[in-house]
Amino acid sequence: MIVQLFWLGIVGAVIAIGFAFFQARKVLGYSEGNDTMKKIAGAIRVGADAYLKRQYTTVIKFFVIVFVILCALAFIPILMGQDEGLVNRFAPFAFLTGGFFTGLSGYIGMKVATASNSRTAQAASESLNKGLRVSFSSGSVMGFTVAGLGLLDITIWFLLLRFVFGANDIEIGQAMVKFGLGVCFMAMFARVGGGIFTKAADVGADLVGKVEAGIPEDDPRNPAVIADNVGDNVGDVAGMGADLYEAYAHAIIATFALGVGVGYSYGGMLLPILMAAVGIIASIIGTFFVRTKEDASQKSLLKSLHRGTFLAAGISAVAALPLTWLVASLELPANANATFYEATGLPPGQIVSMMDNVWGIFGAILLGIGAGLLIGHFTEYFTSDMYKPTKELAEASETGTATVMIGGLALGMKATVGPILTVAFAAIISFLISGGFRDGDINFYAGLYGIGIAAVGMLSTLGVNLATDAFGPVADNAGGIAQMSHLPEEVRNRTDALDSLGNTTAATGKGFSIGSTSFTALALLVSYMALAGVGREELSVANPPVLIGLFIGAATAFFFAALTISAVHKAAQSVVIEVRRQFKEITGLMEGKAEPDYAKCVDLCTQGALKKMVAPSLLALVVPVGTGFLLGAAGVVGLLAGIVITGFTLAVFMMCSGGAWDNAKKYVESGKLGGKGSENHKATVIGDTVGDPFKDTAGPSFNILITLSSSVALVFVYLAEFSLIDWLLG
């Protein structure tokens, strides 16, 4: 009976996808505006299409290589007569489906965003509320596509494994926890590649256009302007879509594994599926409450978005208790407990039932939802110019660029404390209340299940959260189109208001994904420990392989940051040189008599992104395997913990510094402290330029670094058995 309820996952997914489809049709019903607008939007669309096509083509090669390796590891041992392969036999195929759905999420989001930008510009020329509705609808296509496809992918695999391959609960849990590899491998390329593209174009366009030539942002004379607008779509939309697909799917499957580990069996797996389905419905309701009045202040715009997200969170929270109770009270199939005792070797009776911890699990879901909102609040506080930190940062420009830099770095470092403590205490309280306060291994797992389900709770309303996030780049693009097609000043002002709002919600969205990832990472860590069979005693932080692993993890996170920000740095330099060249060589360009060669800049960004996205992505693949070979499973656990801790902290630091620099610049541009063109403005523009790769390339990639390295470790878990250190120790 209980396994039939998993079909509700399909229902939830279909509702999400249907709603996304409905929103897409609504958006496409709006007018695209005049011919100039259509032409510009067309150019952006062509560029974004072309980039994503080339990116996916490159990525496919890596997918083929890894697929072949996985197949070899999975089937050669079986062909040679072994009982099982070195990796799970479903892993190669799940690797492909995960990658496919992740890429598809990004692609659909990008498609809708590039169809909505000119429509948003057109709508904004009518009213601010219309502009918000169109861009927000476009964002919600992405939000619900991601949630729908994620839920679909997981549910289908569950049903396949259960009904087609006849796997039992233990086998399903152990198989599915490894399914994240393809998801995060794809997400990594999309996030890093898109992030490099968008910031290379942005920094390149700003450094020459705004700073050297003194022409406004999004001026059609700037050869990098189309690349900049393409970047918003391939980085901030497609990259973010893939990224959040990853966070969402991973939270659910990691909780699956823990649910099985504690003996909750199908109930432990069903709860996250149903939470996701309920979250989709709550999100749909939430979207209807996002609207604004004309002439709304930034505060009231933000409030209108909060209305949608808070309402959805509230509905999910209220629904969580009956849902948890319902799932806990369902009867399991007769064989579920038997296979559990057989697999774990525990004496019957040691098992805990979900009903024992029903209040705790409910509490953990609430904590997850609350932690998400709280992290959002912290990032908002540190990055929005409505609050003191960013205002003070803008004022630091009075004593020059150096103090803006020092102030921004210190701000980001300070900003790490709130989210870290939130995650830390939400995690430990979730752990304790959902069973972890009792002695024994089983209760330890029950506590961890609480942490996993908290992540699911946090992400359950992804649909509406992502919508409030993904509308930002659409509004940004709309502003560009308004500027380039010389629409009236007020249109640009309206899209600017939406764009600035999008900056803040983007920081919040990134806080969500990194926050939930830290929970998920813990779940993956524990799954790894269980699969690798390392005892808790070996995993003492004072055990040298663990401690060394922690150190290597910290170095990996820092090196990853260095690679991604230098990639932007290098790619941007090539754009700078090209833009300077066009300004010099194309006669009549500055007078508006000749057109710049936009395609050349798009091409440079594409090349830079494709070339430079490989090293950071492979880092997450190579380091866990290498550490496993050198230090064994205990070293890998240390490594993963080190990557989580340092990666999380660096992510918050970089996203908040970058967000605050950006908004400090916008604060000055709004006329404060001398306004545009003043020395203060120049200082904050430099801050923004430094912050760009922080907040849009390196910062939001850390959560994928964390899950990708965990997934690699999980999939190649058997390889760590042949470690140098174990060989040395005999």
Q: Which stretch binds a second copy (CB under 8 A): 233-241, 277-285, 477-485, 640-648?
A: 640-648
Q: Does 653 bind a second copy (CB under 8 A)?
A: yes
Which lies closer to a second copy via its Cβ, residue 48 or residue 411? 411
Which lies closer to a second copy via its Cβ, residue 322 or residue 400? 400
Residue type, 509: G
Q: Does 268 bind a second copy (CB under 8 A)?
A: no
Which lies closer to a second copy via its Cβ, residue 318 or residue 421? 421
Shortest distance in whole angstroms from residue 703 CB to a second copy: 15
Shortest distance in whole angstroms from residue 360 CB to a second copy: 13
DSSP symbols for 239-304: IHHHHHHHHHHHHHHHHHHHHHHTT-HHHHHHHHHHHHHHHHHHHHHHHTT----TT--HHHHHHH
Contact (CB, 8 A) for 491 and 121: yes
Residue type, 400: G
Tokens at 540, concatenated? 């003492």
Please give the size of the binding site for a second copy, defined by CB under 8 A: 85
Q: Where are the alpha helices (DSSP H) in 586-678?
A: 598-612, 614-669
Which lies closer to a second copy via its Cβ, residue 192 or residue 690? 690
What does the buried/exposed string (b/e) look like for 601-640 if buried means 16 or more CB atoms within 10 Å of the residue's CB?
bbbbbbebbbebbbbbbebbbebbbebbbbbbbbbbbbbb
Interatomic CA distance for residues 348 and 352, integer angstroms: 11
Q: Does 724 bind a second copy (CB under 8 A)?
A: no
Which lies closer to a second copy via its Cβ, residue 57 or residue 399? 399
Q: Does 410 bind a second copy (CB under 8 A)?
A: yes
Contact (CB, 8 A) for 709 and 188: no
Shortest distance in whole angstroms from residue 555 CB to a second copy: 4
Q: Does 686 bind a second copy (CB under 8 A)?
A: yes
Tokens 């099982």 belong to residue? 84
Q: Does 646 bind a second copy (CB under 8 A)?
A: yes
Among 285, 409, 599, 615, binds a second copy (CB under 8 A): 409
Shortest distance in whole angstroms from residue 445 CB to a second copy: 11
Which lies closer to a second copy via its Cβ, residue 34 or residue 403? 403
Q: Does 352 bind a second copy (CB under 8 A)?
A: no
Shortest distance in whole angstroms from residue 399 CB to a second copy: 6
Tokens at 47, concatenated? 């560029």
Q: Does 413 bind a second copy (CB under 8 A)?
A: yes
Interatomic CA distance for residues 192 and 567, integer angstroms: 10
Q: Does 403 bind a second copy (CB under 8 A)?
A: yes
Among 249, 275, 375, 411, binds a second copy (CB under 8 A): 411
Contact (CB, 8 A) for 509 and 538: no
Q: Does 211 bind a second copy (CB under 8 A)?
A: yes
Tokens 């830099």 belong to residue? 405
Contact (CB, 8 A) for 523 and 452: yes
Residues from 383 through 402 that contact a second copy (CB under 8 A): 396, 399-402
Q: Which stretch binds a second copy (CB under 8 A): 21-29, 314-322, 328-336, 686-694?
A: 686-694
Shortest distance in whole angstroms from residue 593 CB to a second copy: 28
Interatomic CA distance for residues 644 and 707, integer angstroms: 9
Which lies closer to a second copy via its Cβ, residue 70 or residue 664? 664
Contact (CB, 8 A) for 206 and 700: no
Q: Around Cβ 722, how many Cβ atoms within 10 Å? A: 11
Q: Which stretch binds a second copy (CB under 8 A): 61-69, 283-291, 503-511, 684-692?
A: 684-692
Q: Does 659 bind a second copy (CB under 8 A)?
A: no
Among 201, 451, 453, 487, binds a second copy (CB under 8 A): 451
Interatomic CA distance for residues 142 and 512, integer angstroms: 16
Shortest distance in whole angstroms from residue 203 CB to a second copy: 7
Residues from 420 through 439 that contact a second copy (CB under 8 A): 420-421, 423-425, 427-428, 431-432, 436-437
CA distances from 487 to 275, 482, 495, 712 (A): 45, 5, 11, 50
Among 281, 690, 708, 717, binds a second copy (CB under 8 A): 690
Interatomic CA distance for residues 491 and 543, integer angstroms: 62
What mask, x for binding a second copy by CB under 8 A, covers residues 595 to 634? ------------------------------------x---
Among 207, 269, 305, 605, binds a second copy (CB under 8 A): 207
Q: Which stretch binds a second copy (CB under 8 A): 23-31, 81-89, 353-361, 405-413?
A: 405-413
Contact (CB, 8 A) for 105 and 245: yes
Q: Which stretch binds a second copy (CB under 8 A): 16-24, 217-225, 337-345, 683-691?
A: 683-691
Q: Does 645 bind a second copy (CB under 8 A)?
A: yes
Shortest distance in whole angstroms from residue 322 CB to a second copy: 28
What does the buried/exposed string (b/e) look like for 19-54 if buried means 16 or more CB atoms within 10 Å of the residue's CB?
bbeebbeebeebebbeeebbebbebbbbbbbbbbeb
Among 637, 668, 673, 719, binds a second copy (CB under 8 A): 637
- Quick one: how far is CA 199 from the chain centroid? 17
Interatomic CA distance for residues 236 and 233, integer angstroms: 6
Tokens 């659409």 belong to residue? 474
Residue type, 323: L
Q: Does 573 bind a second copy (CB under 8 A)?
A: yes
Shortest distance in whole angstroms from residue 46 CB to a second copy: 29
Residues from 512 through 571 that contact a second copy (CB under 8 A): 518, 522, 525-526, 529, 535-537, 539-548, 550-555, 558-559, 561-562, 565-566, 568-569
DSSP symbols for 319-357: HHHHHHHHHHHSPPPHHHHHHHHHHH-PPTT----GGGG
